[in-house]
Amino acid sequence: MYRIAICEDEPFFLESNMALTRDILNEEGLKEGEDFAIEVFDDLDLLLQKISLAPDAFQLLLLDIIMGDRNGVDIGTLLRKKQVKCGIIYITSHSEYVFQSFDTRPLQYLLKPIEPLKLKAAILENYQEQRGERALLYLDGAPLPIPVEDIFYLESIRHKVEVHLKDRVISGNGPISALEQKLSPKYFCRCHVGYVVNFVHVFNITRDSITLDDGRKVPVSRRLYQQTAQRYITYLKE
């Protein structure tokens, strides 16, 4: 699950930032409680306590720079020294801190009131980066995080979907399209009505099949060949 923390001591901006973040992710088809969770803090010490107990508690932090007499950039610096790797988006009414923030490698530095498109770009960049590391699949309603490199392809068989890994197959009920929507388009492509292939393991593509790096073959439909080939070329160039 994609986990976000928002730290802001002004109630109006705290509520506004939470609503805007939720709307951005909802527009991408993500559901709160299933695909993402938002936790809010109006006190920096409470946030630090949570992260001290669980350094990987969040993948993204929206951090107000001025909270009373505290400086959010100093907090960001402290988190980086503690090897906390979550993405940081600074939000403030003061532009003079922008240069101080560079050493903490922020995703974005946004002035209040927030420009929604800038926040959206930063959040989705971070989300795609996190998503690229693991694929979160839902099989029979249960969340199943799987490293992207472990997945070779997905196959639809009647009303079931089989996820083919290196040395095993896991399966569940439902349409292949539902799982496809949860996968990063950078790596995964529908190459046939009943197959989604992972470009990480593609060795060769012909007009009727894809050979994977372990020798297995996946069919390619005539209708989807051109799209599959073009997307594979794009993947190789990235």
- 163-181 residue pLDDT tens: 999 889 999 898 999 889 8
Q: Tell me which residues of the chain have a pLDDT lower than 70.
A: 68-69, 71-72, 94-104, 131-134
**What are the structural domains of the chain?**
2-132 (3.40.50.2300), 140-237 (2.40.50.1020)
Q: What is the pLDDT of residue 12?
A: 92
Which three-class secondary structure string do you get for the chain? Answer: CEEEEEECCCHHHHHHHHHHHHHHHHHCCCCECCCEEEEEECCHHHHHHHHHHCCCCCCEEEEECEECCEEHHHHHHHHHHCCCCCEEEEEECCHHHCCHHHHHCCCEEEECCCCHHHHHHHHHHHHHHHHHHEEEEEECCEEEEEEHHHEEEEEEECCEEEEEECCCEEEEECCHHHHHCCCCCCCEEEEECCEEEEHHHEEEECCCEEEECCCCEEECCCCCHHHHHHHHHHHHHC
Q: What is the pLDDT of residue 135?
A: 74
Predicted TM-score of the model (pTM): 0.55
